[in-house]
Chains A and B, each alone.
Chain A
């Protein structure tokens, strides 16, 4: 079974609007971390935001927020006020306590911001 599922291969959003990128995960661990990375066409993976499984508050970092719903095992990324520079591939990743703590990535969502 897929550990990280991103069901949206591609998304379009108008500049200055908000967009939600979906991510669901599967784990039997009680302690785990969820991460979002951005990968522009240049190829580098850029860390955006992190949520721990025991964190009660949703994580926020500037225009990025993580909508964490533990019971539904979802960790959606919300980007507010989209900018043209937000056009990139976005990856959701999980790190479980019981798996040598390596990152497992989803297949990604290609976001295109339209002017």
Chain B
């Protein structure tokens, strides 16, 4: 079974530029998550989708970050414009279903973003 796919793996941009990350979850997984992991910290949830609807985006800086999952499969996370503090690894994860139970989240390899 193929895992969670993400691209690009690395991205270097200058501040105020825009950038987009792509994620393809494990086939059949209804729930998709985007996390931001700053160096030396644990991942922090940015947004959670159930199929193509947003479940939780309370920690997404909506003035510059946006995300969509139009057909309930793959997803795009965008930053526009980027700031220096956005330098981080952006992890995508998916799980089979939101309820019931404590379903495991499976993570992709991440995209390492450096903002200069």
Contacts and interface: CB of A to CB of B under 8 A. Distances in A.
A112 B75 CA distance: 35
Nearest to B99: A101
B104 A44 contact: no
Contact of A50 (B43, B45, B102, B112): B102
Nearest to B58: A100
Contacts of B43: 45, 91, 103, 105
A99 to B, nearest CB: 9
B91 A45 contact: yes
A46 B112 CA distance: 17
Given A47-B104, A101-B98, A108 B42 contact: yes
B72 interface: no
Contacts of B33: 102-103
Contact of A100 (B48, B102, B105): B48
A44 B48 contact: no
A106 B56 CA distance: 20
Interface in B31-54: 33, 40-45, 48
Contacts of A37: 107
A93 interface: yes
A52 B42 contact: no
A35 B43 CA distance: 13
B79 interface: no
Interface string A52-83: 10000000000000000000000000000000
Interface of A: 4, 33, 35, 37, 42-47, 50, 52, 91, 93, 95, 100-103, 105-108
